[in-house]
Amino acid sequence: MKFKSLFGALAVVLLCNVAHAQLHISETRALYLRQKDGSTSDPERAQLIPPLTWGQDHEWRLLLNGDTRYRAENRVNFDGNREIPDNDRVAFWRSRLSADLTYRRRIRIFLEYLDAQQLGANMQYNQEDKRDFHQYFLEIADPDNTPWSLRLGKQEIVLGKEKRLVNASNFNNIRRAFYGGRAMYRTKDLDLDLFVASPSTNSIIDDGIVNGTAAARPTHNRYFYGAYGTFKRYQPTQLELYFLGLSDRDNHRTYPNKQVDEEGNFSTTDRYTVGAELYGPLRKNECGELSYVLGGAYQFGYNGQDDINAWMAHGDIGYQWNRKWKPRLDLEGTIASGDNVNGDYDTNSFNPLFGATDLIYGRIPFFRLQNIRSVGLVGSIDPTSKLKLRAAYHYYWLDSQTDAWYDSNGSSRGRDTTGKSGRDVGQMVDVTAFYKYSKYMSWEGGAAYFLPGNFSGNVGKPDQSAYLFLQTTLSF
Ligand SMILES: [Ca+2]
Ligand SMILES: [Ca+2]
Ligand SMILES: [Ca+2]
């Protein structure tokens, strides 16, 4: 492709002469790998208690692991209005303990206990899940004879390199799980996941509104199912293709959120998402490597009387220098459709399903992959093998001026159905430092600042917001 090589050459010339910085924090990447094969293949993982084995040829093996994490936060003016006091100092404390029992790589029983608390909170952050069994599943495999394995029970599901549609956020105090079954196919050339599950919810509802969280339970009559494939044959270039379905058979759902169509009627819904992600290196030489990520998805189906017609696309071009401190710079763009006209029997607001929000759309949780256009510049450096620094800048617009500004939970932060308030939502800067003292202890700290645009001012959020956090994690 002429365009590709021309662009690649141009970018190398430009970027080789810039000494700047990104990191995709390796903690999240390691976590992803660990979840993918569910094993201890990650050498960086803490394993303080030696594996307990017994039986003939050590055919039984028990691993005990856990972590505890404490994060202090300072939240300033998250409501966007200086006149209304909402500043808060709050801490989030989460502990996990897991027992992972395997028999001859054939049978695995995994049990994970989780306790998540919010301390000193003046507001309700919905981040509590006290003394809960977060995951419990049975896995059946026969790795010498078949690439298939089956996992049944309550489990986390994380799919895709970017986890944009299915994730179990690690920054959150509580993590999402699903109740159901998942068949996994793993070979050198292809990873395939087929699943049917019911999403968990932690919400407590008081008079129709979410007021706090408690132990997770299934959302009855809501089903999440699909197929997600990662084609690795042409590595390092990889292609992901997926089909995801989200169906709600409850025709009067008020819990954990109200399920109505644009006309305001309670409704059942079937939302189907088809999409693809493509990524890999574009150009590599002694100076460094230029790489890209491209992705897109289309949603269709119905919600009550409305047809669903929504889409998203994103692209990232990044350069990793072969230099001391491993500087990296990424330019990224994201667009997800918003609804054009309210009440026209056609809904165009993209639904990010159970996707990642933390960090991808800025550290302050004001955005997600719904009615958004954003561009970002992300730089990172690793001054030592233990220290990673990251800085990001994002600018955000609404995709549709008549649809809402959605925060990371999908709640509206303001809407002007006339469209007269424009689309300029604002900009955010965030910086993060991650220090891994050892595999048993790490620290992370960060700060973020949001500067509102015209639209925000017009919907009653004219003032700046700021965020600071410091987090310690102990793992064993
Ligand atoms: Ca305020
Ligand atoms: Ca407080
Ligand atoms: Ca509409």
The CATH number of residue 184's host domain is 2.40.160
Q: What is the Å distance from ligand 3's center to 44 Cα?
A: 48
At residue 271's C-alpha, the angle toward residues 264 and 204, to 5°, is: 60
Q: What is the Å distance from ligand 3's center to 365 Cα?
A: 25
Question: Residue 152: what pLDDT?
Answer: 98
d(CA 349, CA 370): 6
Question: Residue 34: what pLDDT?
Answer: 33
Q: What is the Å distance from ligand 2's center to 409 Cα?
A: 21
d(CA 472, CA 129): 19
Question: Residue 113: what pLDDT?
Answer: 97
Tell me which ligand sits closest to the C-alpha of residue 88.
2
d(CA 137, CA 238): 30
d(CA 6, CA 16): 16
Question: Residue 27: what pLDDT?
Answer: 31
Give ion ligand 2 contacts, CB < 5 A. 88-89, 120, 122
DSSP, collapsed to helix, strand or coil, labels residue 126 as coil
Q: What is the Å distance from ligand 3's center to 263 Cα?
A: 9
DSSP, collapsed to helix, strand or coil, labels residue 26 as helix
User: Measuring CA to CA, how many Å separate 333 from each of 314, 348, 373?
Assistant: 6, 20, 8
Tell me which ligand sits closest to the C-alpha of residue 309.
3
For residue 171, tell me if it sits in a domain: yes
Give me the tens of pLDDT residue by residue for the chain, a chain 476 residues long: 444 554 454 444 444 443 332 333 333 333 333 333 444 456 778 999 999 999 998 999 999 999 999 999 999 999 999 999 999 999 999 999 999 999 998 999 999 999 999 999 998 888 999 999 999 999 999 999 999 999 999 999 999 999 999 999 999 999 999 999 999 999 999 999 999 999 999 888 777 677 788 888 999 999 999 999 999 999 999 999 999 999 999 988 887 878 889 988 999 999 999 999 999 999 999 999 999 999 999 999 999 999 999 999 999 999 999 999 999 999 999 999 999 999 999 999 999 999 998 788 999 999 999 999 999 999 999 999 999 999 999 999 999 999 999 999 999 999 999 999 999 999 999 999 999 999 999 999 999 999 999 999 999 999 999 999 999 999 99
The domain in which residue 149 lies consists of 2-66+95-374+400-422
Tell me which ligand sits closest to the C-alpha of residue 90.
2
* Amino acid, single-letter form, for residue 219: T
Question: Residue 5: what pLDDT?
Answer: 53
For residue 78, tell me if it sits in a domain: no
For residue 14, tell me if it sits in a domain: yes
Question: Residue 41: what pLDDT?
Answer: 55
For residue 251, tell me if it sits in a domain: yes
Q: What is the Å distance from ligand 1's center to 76 Cα?
A: 7
For residue 462, tell me if it sits in a domain: no
Q: Say how many C-beta atoms besides its own lie within 10 A of residue 245's C-beta.
A: 17
Tell me which ligand sits closest to the C-alpha of residue 344.
3
In sequence order, the β-bridge partners of residue 387 are 435
For residue 472, tell me if it sits in a domain: no
Q: Which residue has the tokens 């310690």?
A: 472
> Which of 145, 146, 144, 243 is CA-nearest to residue 194?
243
Tell me which ligand sits closest to the C-alpha of residue 417.
3
Find the radius of gyration of the CA atoms of the chain: 23
d(CA 288, CA 243): 35
Tell me which ligand sits closest to the C-alpha of residue 305.
3
For residue 395, tell me if it sits in a domain: no
Sign of the torsion formed by the C-alpha atoms of 169, 174, 179 and 183: positive
User: Measuring CA to CA, how many Å separate 414 from each of 173, 204, 358, 362?
Assistant: 26, 24, 21, 18
Q: What is the Å distance from ligand 1's center to 465 Cα?
A: 8
The backbone torsions φ and ψ at residue 283, rounded to the nearest 5 degrees and listed phi first, read -155, 140
Tell me which ligand sits closest to the C-alpha of residue 463.
1
d(CA 66, CA 475): 6
> Parallel, antiparallel, or unpaired: how do β-strands 346-347 and 441-452 relate?
unpaired
Give how many domains the chain has, as a whole number: 1
User: Measuring CA to CA, how many Å separate 310 from each of 223, 249, 298?
Assistant: 20, 21, 6
Question: Residue 379: what pLDDT?
Answer: 98
- The helix (run of H) or strand (run of E) holding residue 15 is helix 2-16
In sequence order, the β-bridge partners of residue 279 are 238, 293
For residue 259, tell me if it sits in a domain: yes
Q: What is the Å distance from ligand 1's center to 449 Cα?
A: 14
Q: Which residue has the tokens 């998203």?
A: 312
